[in-house]
Structure 1
Amino acid sequence: MGRNTRKRRTPPAVKAIAVSAALALGGGGLLWANFHASAHESEHRTWGGSRTKAATAQVVTVSCPDVGQKLTNVPNAARQGVATELAALDRQITEAYARLASTRDAQAKDPGFVRNAIVGPLGEKRAATIDRIRIGIQRAGGSFDDALRQLASCTARSADQTTAGGAQQNGGGQQNGGQQGGGIGGQAGNGPVAADFVDITKVAPNVQGRPRRTGNASTGTFTTRCGVNANKNHNTDNVIVAPGVTNGAHHLHDYVGNQKVNAFSSNQTFLQGGTSCRNRDDLSSYYWPVVRVQDGTRDFDQNADGGGKEGNAGRILTPVQADITYVGSPAAKVVAMPRFLRIITGDAKTTTNGLANANAHWSCTGFENKVQLTEQYPICPQGSKVVRSFAFQSCWDGQNTDSANHRAHVAFADPASGVCPNGFKAIPQLTMRLVYAVTPPVIRNGQVRNAYAVDGFPEQLHKPATDHDDFISVTRNGLAGKIADCLNRGQNCA
């Protein structure tokens, strides 16, 4: 990763979140937070293949190094081409995972099948794509680190290498959102599994207090009300990481704020996009992967790319509440966000990348100030709702609105002091709180029924830690400055 962006690893009980004890905003949300992590046709046929002998096949997914996260210096002239090739790498993994999921019989009969027919050819395709990335960078006058060639090779991973808590799970033929066949459960055969869930009432408190404020703290808040995507503005693109590539995300996003965001949008498009926000000067785009409930039902995209065809199955849940609030720094005054600043928080590929950039936080209403989870989904008690929370990077390098890996231009403040890294300036910290009415999943005999899960890349197995959030700052008529002034004056604005 780029400098000052990697979050420090902390003990598991604390890693999930460091968050203020209890500053409430409407609906009982968190006003200040420093979420600092060490950062259909039948799915049986499409994704499960023949599962007659799946119980003996331990390989459940493919794991490939994330080339994009290692690219920290790409000339502007090469960025579009590089983004297109990075999207090709994602597509290749998706195709390899589909082949993995549809060849269970062959895998059971031939121990070398996965290596020879799936992982080996995938590595060859990736090597050629990485070489095209090299050529594009060098033609634009940039330098290419030859060590990136070593990222072509992929591996096959077994259930016990991917399941939360390290417990191996094999499906047992349950229907209606339970685990079907061998595989690793889920309505589409790619998760989640029972070990991905925990009764939140049985989790020890793990929320840490916020840093002590200094005399120069910016203590205000600014709330923008942009709705819950009730108008169902969805697509499977990601204009930040895969501009110009249809289905670049391979999963479905909810969009609030700017209403004209897709793979082909530009800064000029954003200014003309209209907004779902009450403040008409807030044209920012706030988007996140949808949550689906796997109760046997399907949604409009059951046969579509990014939906059921790529393992994102089940009924899409619209949040019952979406709180978007900018908060200040406990250690400094903030500067206004630059127009068109792009920030991605969390990592959609933690199943293969590890947790270094994880920033997922799951909880339940009534528990948010006590328990926040990164690697498991909560099972909430009766009357409590599921909550996803995000707090974005709050430090900016003062120059760039984006970077080659979409991380190096922003950073997290120190979790203990709230101070930004050297060379970075404090900006308003975007915090988001999404609330869902979810019927609690039920776990019996090591299997989960009526699971819910966040959309993701198919090979990531719907792990809770893969949750992430995206933001493009687009304001007009001085709104960015007004937000900063509100925070610096210690006021609560909307």
Structure 2
Amino acid sequence: MGRTSRKRRSSLATRMTIASAALLLGGGGLVAVNVYASAHEDSADGQDAGSGTQQTQQTQQVATIDCPDVGAQLSDVPDGARDEVDGELATLDTQVTEAYKRLASTRDAAARDPRFVRNSIMDPLKKNRGTILERIRLEMERRGGQAPDGMNDMAECTAQPKEGEQQPPDGQDGGSDQGGGGDQAGGDQQQGNGGQAGNGPVAADFADITKVQPNVQKPQNGDNASTGTFTTRCGVNDNKKFNTDNLIVAPGVTNGAHHLHDYVGNQDNDAFSSNDDLANADTSCQNQGDKSTYYWPVLRVQDGSEEFDADKDGGGKEGNVGKVLQAQKASIKFAGSPQGEVVPMPKFLRIITGDAKAFTNGTANANAHWSCTGFEDRQLTDKYPLCPDGSKVVRSFAFQSCWDGQNIDSANHRTHVAFADQAGNCPQNFKAIPQLKMRLVYDVQTPTIENGQVKNPFAVDGFPEQLHKPITDHDDFINVFDDQTMQKVVDCINKGDRCD
């Protein structure tokens, strides 16, 4: 899946504008929107003032809002500016979330006024994002840094059409579906954006695992491979530790994740936890030398039930609905390198694997793996698995296993670590570290799909505009092993032993 952003295209007389859209959060799904091609899109009479050409109208469906991921572009932020910049980036996320919620709750207004969405949602969003981007630029420059070229262009977002639909070329009639939608829109609502909250998942997000061909390949071990493993047992969140914060990406920001996380390991992990707080906290891990925090978005079954967060930010207010599922198993293991020995991870090293915004960002940082017990040689990235009777849903994560040797974090929370290549080699100047591998197993009834509709689907929590796509699955880790235990991990792996 390539990047799904669509830039506006210009011709001599026309340019496309998504002029109205609506999603009914909590009730339906997609509704029809009007798309106009016009050189003067504010013209009240529908005429091109220069040529007298009648505007072309097409009924189109809009799924979501797609905004450039500013944080992913900030690879070099001065240390003194990082907290401030992270806070501003969290504000950008909140702006998108609020714009999507407004998009999802303005069906009637959009139907009455084809320019409502552009005027009331997209243009204000662009203006608000521009203000935050300017703050980020000023803060970076004040601390001796420089914002990336073209950052101001990241203010503009696009209304993304329903999957499978394309924007027509400028000034062309995109098809025979004319007018305001009416029965057509209503007839497509349940199939549209799907899900209990109207923002996914849909039938196309699921695949029968028995029809997937084996696709797992592993690099061959070299002569100097480190073949041991270290297993840490931290439970399945029996303590019911949940929050919608993200200490790595949005420190100091309540609800910085906009979705609910499961936590195992460290028991003092919220947006305001310092490294000292983490080091002094209790842990759910059996090995008390491991106070690391392991957290991931919860999995829910959208069976119509209301959870404890049904009326809260990050939960029902943002389209994350249904029964929270507890993993039956949460296996946490550290493995070696196919090409050589590993070195200790630095304390408080932060690693994010996968991308919570992969539906709109594209697959560059996506790292989702979905499967079923008994079929784990077959992995899905952009589909949820439909498992046969007796088989259970599996989410698995293989974290980045190469470290730059210097930093415990980076401005975009990615460039200080890297994946090894297909042969298991780290990039130049990077060092192999113990690779964290996680496996979560869920006992969930397989959804049924009839006439294109999904009954009781399960889905991973996410930002509301990501439509609960499986490719947005991700996992987070902060290393809080004490030095002695981390050295034990490394020695075990390098000697080829199996330890816990």
Q: Does 1:114 align with 2:117?
A: yes
Deviation (angstroms), 1:254: 0.3
Q: Does 1:335 align with 2:313?
A: no
**Equivalent residue runs for 1:270-281 within 5 Å:** 270-281=278-289
- Structure 1 45/195 Cα, relative in aligned 2: closer, same or farther at 3 Å? closer
Deviation (angstroms), 1:483: 0.4
- Structure 1 410/477 Cα, relative in aligned 2: closer, same or farther at 3 Å? closer
Match of 1:189 in 2: 198
198-207 or 346-355, which deviates more: 198-207
- Structure 1 49/132 Cα, relative in aligned 2: closer, same or farther at 3 Å? farther
The superposition leaves residues 273-313 of structure 1 with CA deviations (integer Å, 9 ceiling, x where unpaired) of 11000000100000000000001112100000000000000
Q: What stretches of structure 1 of length at least 5 have no aligned partner?
A: 1-8, 11-43, 164-169
Give the TM-score, by structure 2 length.
0.84
Deviation (angstroms), 1:493: 0.3
- Structure 1 354/461 Cα, relative in aligned 2: closer, same or farther at 3 Å? same
- Are the aligned partners of 2:30 and 2:185 in contact in 1 as well (CA < 8 Å)? no
Q: 366, 373, 377: which is aligned to 2:380? A: 373
Q: 219, 243, 246: which is aligned to 2:227? A: 219
Q: Does 1:439 align with 2:445?
A: yes
Q: Does 1:228 align with 2:228?
A: no
**Equivalent residue runs for 1:234-253 within 5 Å:** 234-253=242-261
Match of 2:209 in 1: 200
- Write the distance in 2 (CA, Å) between the matches of 1:161 and 1:76: 43
- Are the aligned partners of 1:257 and 1:277 in contact in 2 as well (CA < 8 Å)? yes
Match of 1:429 in 2: 435
Identity, % of aligned pairs? Answer: 63
The superposition leaves residues 446-485 of structure 1 with CA deviations (integer Å, 9 ceiling, x where unpaired) of 1100100000000000000000000000011511111011
- Write the distance in 2 (CA, Å) between the matches of 1:477 and 1:426: 17
Q: Does 1:72 align with 2:75?
A: yes
Match of 1:133 in 2: 136
- Are the aligned partners of 2:24 and 2:106 in contact in 1 as well (CA < 8 Å)? no
Match of 1:260 in 2: 268
- Find the residue that maps to 1:116 and give its secondary structure: helix
Deviation (angstroms), 1:114: 2.1
- Are the aligned partners of 1:292 and 1:453 in contact in 2 as well (CA < 8 Å)? yes
- Find the residue that maps to 2:359 and give its secondary structure: helix
Deviation (angstroms), 1:104: 1.7
- Write the distance in 1 (CA, Å) between the matches of 2:186 and 2:120: 27
- Are the aligned partners of 1:340 and 1:401 in contact in 2 as well (CA < 8 Å)? yes
- Write the distance in 1 (CA, Å) between the matches of 2:215 and 2:30: 42
- Write the distance in 2 (CA, Å) between the matches of 1:52 and 1:436: 30
* Residue identity matched to 1:129: I
- Are the aligned partners of 2:32 and 2:62 in contact in 1 as well (CA < 8 Å)? no
Higher-Rg structure is 2
Q: 444, 457, 462: which is aligned to 1:456? A: 462
- Write the distance in 1 (CA, Å) between the matches of 2:388 and 2:349: 39
- Write the distance in 1 (CA, Å) between the matches of 2:89 and 2:121: 19
Q: Does 1:466 align with 2:472?
A: yes
- Write the distance in 1 (CA, Å) between the matches of 2:190 and 2:211: 30
**Equivalent residue runs for 1:327-406 within 5 Å:** 327-369=335-377, 371-406=378-413
Q: 99, 112, 126: which is aligned to 2:102? A: 99
Q: Does 1:47 align with 2:25?
A: yes
Count of paired positions = 440
Deviation (angstroms), 1:111: 3.1
* Residue identity matched to 2:384: Y
Deviation (angstroms), 1:351: 1.1
- Structure 1 235/52 Cα, relative in aligned 2: closer, same or farther at 3 Å? closer
- Are the aligned partners of 2:368 and 2:397 in contact in 1 as well (CA < 8 Å)? yes
197-206 or 285-294, which deviates more: 197-206
Q: What stretches of structure 2 of length at least 5 have no aligned partner?
A: 3-21, 34-58, 167-182
- Are the aligned partners of 1:331 and 1:418 in contact in 2 as well (CA < 8 Å)? yes
Match of 1:144 in 2: 147
Give the TM-score, by structure 1 length.
0.85
Q: Does 1:84 align with 2:70?
A: no
Q: Does 1:410 align with 2:388?
A: no
- Write the distance in 1 (CA, Å) between the matches of 2:303 and 2:186: 14
* Residue identity matched to 1:47: L
Q: 473, 476, 485: which is aligned to 2:482? A: 476
- Write the distance in 1 (CA, Å) between the matches of 2:388 and 2:252: 43
Deviation (angstroms), 1:74: 0.6
* Residue identity matched to 1:271: A
Deviation (angstroms), 1:48: 4.1
* Residue identity matched to 1:150: D
- Write the distance in 1 (CA, Å) between the matches of 2:78 and 2:478: 21
- Are the aligned partners of 1:171 and 1:447 in contact in 2 as well (CA < 8 Å)? no
- Write the distance in 2 (CA, Å) between the matches of 1:389 and 1:239: 22
Deviation (angstroms), 1:231: 1.5
* Residue identity matched to 1:278: Q
146-155 or 297-306, which deviates more: 146-155
- Structure 1 161/466 Cα, relative in aligned 2: closer, same or farther at 3 Å? farther
- Are the aligned partners of 1:57 and 1:104 in contact in 2 as well (CA < 8 Å)? no
* Residue identity matched to 1:116: N
Deviation (angstroms), 1:46: 8.3
Match of 1:5 in 2: none
- Write the distance in 1 (CA, Å) between the matches of 2:29 and 2:446: 28
- Find the residue that maps to 1:114 and give its secondary structure: helix
- Write the distance in 1 (CA, Å) between the matches of 2:262 and 2:365: 22
